[in-house]
A and B are shown apart, each in its own frame.
Chain A
């Protein structure tokens, strides 16, 4: 009995010893082999630019393009989210995804790029990441107003970032952009972005001037946003910037855009949405009618004709609350890339989005985020109204020409259009309308800016959809539900979509 007892005790002791010695080693395997604890700066920048390009044709694009009525949300009978968005039924939880991708992916990765660039003595990387950060925050302020900025992106160190005033963020972004330009101009940099950036890919020597032109043009864009609350500031700042000899996106080869591939899951996000959600988006009557009124030659690359076989080609847009169906023009090569195949229209002349009888697109058209035409139209507006240098008339025509060229319109056709419609006339207000309408057309497929221009100028004139749930055009988006739920420093949710951002008061 006693011997057995002691034997049991001995066994227990043996067990304990075995575990003490070998256990820990056997259990030291908790390092994820599928991921890494540190990542090179190059691939972090790639992911940031890819996400920005994607976002330029994704959620935020759909909200802003529907609110500004470049597109209309339609259906062939079922429930579609785009239809709801167009009638201003955009809910706080709809915004979780874009908010997450902007902050937790794009800005968070850019932030690490800046840290790594500083640590490795690579100011060129820091400069690019800073200007992209500024661009991203500009989108955020324009869409939401106040937003986390000074305390954002601190991870577990600050789970409840405060919301900074949109105006303060803008002010700080100008500083950030200037820092970015200085960084990009640095004579030496251990590492410089190259083909790993999907925006302005290529040798740094070639891309640096484009990045700097973009940085300056972004400042121009942000200055013009002050036109409603402080036109003097707009005029003064644009004058200063132009007179400083800064370079701008003055030709389409400098456009701030991202090119896409033709293979599935490498195509642009507007095209991919058209395939995965066929018949959710059709060109809006507001846009199509503006272009129809002037027989705009860009229509042949912007839209498919409706009826499809009409000759001369006719174009027909949709508007919120229209009867379900596919009998409208569709977006075309300008947004989706080269088309092939033969479309088979239905009896009314509508063509299917996918499958038999649909056109096939390459999907490689770029997502355009700031184009040369916008630069010229900003300059035209500033020259016309805010005392900035330049000839508004000439700049207006330069803008149209840049847009025509971008849409593949021949010089002859562009000249003809300008001869017919390229002269600013009437009151300043009337001329502003002409500029913004052309800007609206030129910014076809550009995320946010057409909605911003509408909020700033009231152009183009928009008719509120018959089935809208608000009686006015939305002025900003709800704060994402995830922030309301999880950030104790988030402000109270907006009562509706009519709260203006700081430059819209």
Chain B
């Protein structure tokens, strides 16, 4: 209904305005050597109107007649402006430079002169993004932007968490808003299940990075306020590639192929066999057996076997994965319109068998200047993304549940794992690695469309109105099959009887914006850009799922093939309306003031609390403009900026009431009752109490910073300090169960984020044949929980009884808690009489997963047609609890457990270990124990504290080399450009405090709970080649 109002309003306005003349400007943008710059930006100053140059460096743009200024920009070059006057042909030469003086795309797609911004933004070009090809765009952002922490959750299909400037809320999402061509899209998902099902991707995986022109990161609320509530964690703004007007069509084909391997595998011992206490035991999955000397034993299959070590029995689980991408695009335009059509295909094979992801992207965008005043543009992407995945989490069907510590003498690779029928044949209580990969299956498929249609009308030379409507809709189909005889929960927890999962998730997001923009040169020195707009947003989610248990016929994957099935359906809808105004006032180029105000109405509150207002003020001061004589020195520009901004955030759906729902029973060990129970259904009052009084939570940011360019822009420095506070955080405050509820919704809790961001770019070499640029970005922030709900000492974010991740008042966000070794007042460990440690009965803080700082270092060297580039990713601090390392040790497979011979010459156990601690009588421990006792279940393993590791790392995150064949060498070939290259990801890892595995894993995936590593898929290292041909 409101949409109609807005359209009517627009029509009313149309009728009342006078016509204004427009002119068409064309030209070529080149570098100082006359080489055309492809994809350089040409925008009309102070507006979101713009275009990019084509493959000959040519552009065509329609500008209003009058006082218009064109802004030319290109990554790595100094941005420049040129008044249009009456010229219709403007050729422009851009000078090389870096970082500063650029036009950046800010909120709502408005392109602004970066020197006029009072807040920090960062831009990443498509080249920077896709140098080392990955499947998920979130992984591509790692290490590239100051103030941004990207945390991979392990595995090539898994997503990465992006935290911008710290965490702003407790249990709701802390992930930024993703916006594609001005319309927010859904980036949900990526949380890993703890007990059932496969690893998951965040939905940004549906984006084809080859379609991305650039990514702008809006870091703080000031930059993001125009996107309202959903932008309180920052915005990742993606602009897709567009066609160029007035240019013949071009065809670009690019392809890449990469090979993936597990980045790091454990150091194993290969001396001691399966068993316990020095004896061979064919049903044990520990490797505390006898020394392997080629003796004969009876294996689990009842056959006589010569005992041997199989050094690669675990490594063989992982294959070489691959990532293949093909992209074909057509772009072109007439003098009044342009288009781009692209098709992308990606095929990734995971490092575990039966893990595969195939993605098709069809992207189309076009814009047309229908009349001199009316511009219509559209952009749409269809994605089909299908994958097969394996089981994950703390469950016996996860191939890596015990896969990392297969007994050293068990020939996992060659021994059979099933009989002719498919019945599992394995000594363990868990599912055999290959059996579960083969038989406990999961696949999903998404069909997604996102896109927008925008109509812009220029009422006068200085006033324009735009209506934009965008949708993001997907249907996510999930299918699981658990084989009869599965020992773990797999997809359906069918207790070995086999099960089928059929799930459908439907997500609909509708966004509509109406904006009016006025640009006025108020006086010779004073320029005003004023924007007034409304937003309406609607999100609908529907989830349909049927779980069937008890397979009738093996391998017949239909829900009707099960003896019982439980269907469930749930839906949720939220709506939001916002009104906003933004005024940007510039005095000469010296001072810019930006005021933003917004009021939101959210459906998730009761009517009384529904409306909330917030605002932002930002100022930028270009010092050199103060005094003309200061210009011309070695300082090219110096800007001071400051802002104060607020963003309000609504609650989740349906938190204002307490509801009765379908009951059931479960105890966390697997047993559960699911209704219907013998034809009955039970209802229960929800344990989470709602609250009709809740209102919005607010994040307030104060930020100051400076941008300085020196020596011909060869040195660029950006520095930002900020203090960001969140208050009235909406949370389900846990309560004592004896009250009859376990939580209730309320506004409570505060987080304080303090941080600095530093960006430094230096170009030591800049000649006509080559340049060398070094960039450093530095991120340091701490997120402190300054208040929790009254009476609440901690909030559980995820994990187990021990260890778990929780929020504790006064401490950093998300601390790791677990049991510790029992100590006396002096901190000495107290031991049992047998010399083994005791544990505390409760849990205490044992680790902090938050890193001290992050640093990314980029190096770009261009020489002739060659570009060499690498990205170093440095992380200092941040701890993790590693259950995998605990398992490697307690089962005697880690090389470190065989550091000393386990047996003496006479065959008796070698008592080589002694805990440093006190015996029950208070005396110094003098009891020596065996390796098995030391590392075993009653030894070091008893306390989670023993497996906290630092995750500081130095890694070569990306490296690439490419060569663009010079045009003259292409001769008469029909190509206008050919580029070839090679690239790698995760090429080198140095993690001095973290043995055996790559520390970039998180059992819970994209979650506010970080710091637990638990049988997750390991990250991969990849090496690949790529080719790009332009016709």
Contact = CB atoms under 8 A, between A and B. Distances in A.
A261 B678 contact: yes
B736 A27 contact: no
A421 interface: no
Nearest to B941: A79
A419 interface: no
Interface stretch (B357-365, B679-687, B765-773): B679-687
For the residues of B in contact with A, the DSSP-based class is loop
Given A91-B819, A196-B680, A276-B495, A47 B663 contact: yes
Nearest to A261: B678
B236 to A, nearest CB: 27
A105 B687 contact: yes
A133 to B, nearest CB: 12
B737 A480 contact: yes
Interface string B789-800: 001111000000
Contacts of A160: 736, 739, 791
Nearest to B568: A34
A299 to B, nearest CB: 25
Contacts of B570: 34
Contact of B654 (A7, A31, A57, A59): A31
Interface in B721-744: 734-742, 744
B495 A104 contact: no
A364 to B, nearest CB: 10
Contact of B665 (A51, A153, A279): A51
A50 B518 CA distance: 66
Interface residues of B, number: 119
A272 B607 CA distance: 47
Report which residue of B573, B658, B683, B741 has the largest number of chain A beta carbons within 10 angstroms of its beta carbon: B683
B463 interface: yes
Nearest to B651: A30
Interface stretch (A178-186, A318-326, A423-431): A318-326
B671 interface: yes
A264 B667 contact: no
Contacts of A29: 573, 575, 603
Given A264-B499, A272-B671, A469-B838, A47 B683 contact: yes
Interface stretch (B142-150, B152-160, B418-426, B909-917): B418-426
Contacts of A152: 738-740
Nearest to A196: B680
A438 B460 CA distance: 98
B842 A324 contact: no
Most buried by A among B302, B579, B660, B744: B660
B734 A486 contact: yes
Which residue, A11, A31, A77, has most C-beta atoms of chain B within 10 A?
A77
Interface stretch (B31-39, B220-228, B277-285): B277-285
A81 to B, nearest CB: 8
B717 interface: no
Given A77-B285, A93-B802, A155-B740, A58 B671 contact: yes
A340 interface: no
B1015 to A, nearest CB: 13
B670 A275 contact: yes
A23 to B, nearest CB: 5
A364 B843 CA distance: 38
Given A19-B601, A91-B819, A93-B843, A26 B496 contact: no
Given A19-B601, A261-B678, A264-B499, A155 B689 contact: yes
Given A18-B5, A76-B429, A356 B419 contact: yes
Contacts of A485: 734, 792-794
Contact of A37 (B6, B283, B659): B659
A491 to B, nearest CB: 12
B673 A266 contact: yes
A112 interface: yes
A77 B575 contact: no
B577 A77 contact: no
A325 B281 contact: yes
Contacts of A8: 516, 518, 530, 532
Given A22-B1, A32-B653, A265-B674, A51 B801 contact: no
A220 to B, nearest CB: 28
Contacts of B842: 91-93, 481, 493
Contact of B429 (A7, A12, A279, A483): A279
Nearest to A352: B429
Interface in B650-699: 653-654, 656-661, 663-665, 667-674, 677-678, 680-687, 689, 691
Contacts of A91: 801-802, 819, 841-842
B678 A266 contact: yes
Contact of B841 (A36, A159, A478): A478
Interface stretch (A94-102, A301-309, A410-418): A94-102
Interface string A64-81: 000000000000111101
Contacts of A265: 493, 549, 564, 566, 672-674
Contact of B607 (A28, A355, A356): A28
B736 A108 contact: no
A490 B736 contact: yes
Interface in A1-20: 4, 7-8, 11-12, 14-16, 18-19
Interface in A171-203: 195-196, 198
Contacts of A39: 660, 683-685
B546 to A, nearest CB: 14
Of the listed residues A78, A89, A356, A487, the one surrounded by the most CB atoms of chain B closer than 10 A to its CB is: A78
Nearest to B676: A266
B350 interface: no
A98 B794 CA distance: 20
A347 B656 CA distance: 62
A37 to B, nearest CB: 6
Contacts of A107: 740
Interface in A276-331: 276-279, 323-326
A467 interface: yes
B654 to A, nearest CB: 4
B302 A44 contact: no
A354 interface: yes
A226 interface: no
Nearest to B746: A156
Contacts of A272: 495, 670-672
B675 to A, nearest CB: 8
Nearest to A273: B671
Nearest to B530: A8
B981 interface: no
B429 A111 contact: no
A241 B668 CA distance: 41
Given A30-B604, A47-B682, A264-B494, A103 B740 contact: yes
Chain B CB within 10 A, most for which of A264, A469, A482, A487:
A264
B683 A44 contact: yes
Nearest to A5: B518
B1018 interface: no
Interface in B513-531: 516, 518, 530
Nearest to A36: B660
A488 interface: yes
Interface in A465-505: 467, 469, 478, 480-483, 485-488, 490, 493, 496
Nearest to B300: A346
24 contacts: A12-B532, A27-B576, A29-B573, A32-B659, A37-B657, A40-B683, A44-B685, A77-B281, A93-B842, A94-B801, A101-B665, A103-B737, A103-B738, A159-B736, A263-B564, A272-B670, A277-B669, A323-B276, A325-B284, A355-B496, A356-B424, A482-B742, A486-B793, A496-B841
Given A57-B671, A263-B550, A487-B739, 11 more contacts: A18-B2, A32-B653, A34-B661, A43-B682, A50-B677, A58-B667, A108-B684, A153-B738, A264-B499, A265-B493, A485-B734
Which 10 residue pairs spanning A and B have beta carbons closest together? A276-B670, A47-B682, A272-B671, A35-B659, A487-B736, A47-B663, A39-B660, A264-B549, A148-B738, A32-B654
